[in-house]
Amino acid sequence: MLAFGRLGDLRGQRRIFLTGFAIFIAGSALCGLAPTVPTLIAARAVQALGAAMLFSNSIAILIGAFGSSERGRAIGAVSVFTYTGLTAGPPLAGFVTDAVGWRGIFALTFVLGLACFAICWNALPTDREAHARGAFDLTGTILLTAAVSTFLITLQEATSWGVTSALTIGGIALSVVLAVAFVATERRVASPILDLRLFRTRAFSAATVAAVANYVSVAATYVLMPFYLIHGRGLSATTTGLVLAAQPIAQVLAAPLSGTLSDHIGTRIPRTAGLVVLTLAVLYLATLGPTSPLEAVVVALAVTGLGTGAFVAPNTAQLMAAAPMERRGTANAVSGTSRYLGFAIGSAAAAAIIATAGPNSADSATILRAVEPAFLIAAAFAAIGAAFSAMPD
């Protein structure tokens, strides 16, 4: 994402966004036509390439289209569509799969993609703002890709390799070495893929750390709650889905209100309040047991959604505002990368806690033992995020 964010700065966000959209649509078609599993995996990689180009430039385009007094409202509105899609996607995919098979999912994505591409082609403003100058940093891109890929693969496989195994420790060590090499390279080159001077601005660095901390907490909740409800409480998959829906629904309600509020009073109060609310809600989740009232679980999940929804739009607006115009694509990519890193860390941490709580993740006792430590760690990250959000700009 950082590579495509930088390309957006150099070549124009609209151009990279639409190119990525076209690649994503082509990847969807290839997925639907894939004759074998390896071909499907390769086609999914094509989809991911296009999606990275989309996501690393979308907010930058949005910020360019709205004035500084409307950034929070605009980002909040986009968050509504994001959370709505995340909520509606799984049940819709299940319905399509049951009706016509898994290829129907990609056929639907292809058709919707074409329609949305046509809308974006006609509606998105041309790239009129001054572009950043310089050459594309290929060495930095390779080092960053290697560092992040190694780190994410290691986190994903840590529970199967063993948290303290040589493979896990070696993977983490290698990712650190590659990250150090990346930072050293970025300090030397004239046109870095990630301008490290951005992090000298307190508003930018604090918003980035807060975003990672928020998504670590949210991801841990996303991973653990289905296990708790299905294996710890014995609920059906349908009932579990309905209970879990409280969180994204609350996010849909909170995001536009918080974004609009941040345009009037600044971003610091709503984003800090959002993470404080998230911290308190996750602390309550840490007390859940086998007989906790289901209504209380629904309310707690709704409150976590309110906290996250209140945080994301103002924090994204803060991060984007702290970057100069010629680095807007890079800032967009940093925001997206923070989200994926947070989710990877939170998911891996929750999975590791479940794995160490007992040999069988489907066992009720194992899941109930994992609840308290997992949610306490999630609450700690949310509190760290709140502390960084509260810092003066």
Q: Is the pLDDT of residue 135 over 80?
A: no
- Say if residues 241 and 297 touch (Cβ distance below 8 Å): no
Rounded to whole angstroms, the Cα distance separating 176 from 24 reads 31
pLDDT digits 0-9 by tens, 157-171: 887 888 788 998 999
Residue type, 6: R
| Contact (CB, 8 A) for 369 and 361 | no
Q: How far apart are CA 255 and CA 316, in angstroms?
A: 11
pTM of the model: 0.83
Q: Is 258 exposed, middle or buried (0-12, 13-18, 19+ CB in 10 A)?
A: buried
Query: Which token pair is 316?
Result: 């994204």
The answer to whether residues 355 and 165 touch, using CB atoms and an 8 Å cutoff, is no
- What are 23-36's pLDDT values in tens digits? 999 999 999 999 99
User: Looking at domain 2-137+189-389, does it have CATH number 1.20.1250.20?
Assistant: yes
- The two structure tokens encoding residue 73: 């409202």
Count of CB atoms situated within 10 Å of the CB of 387: 16
Q: What is the average pLDDT across 152-161?
A: 82
Question: Where exactly are the structural domains of the chain?
Answer: 2-137+189-389, 138-188
Rounded to whole angstroms, the Cα distance separating 30 from 110 reads 10
pLDDT tens figures, 323-382: 887 787 888 888 888 988 898 889 888 888 888 887 777 788 888 888 899 999 999 999
Side-chain half-sphere exposure of 332, counting CA atoms within 13 A = 30
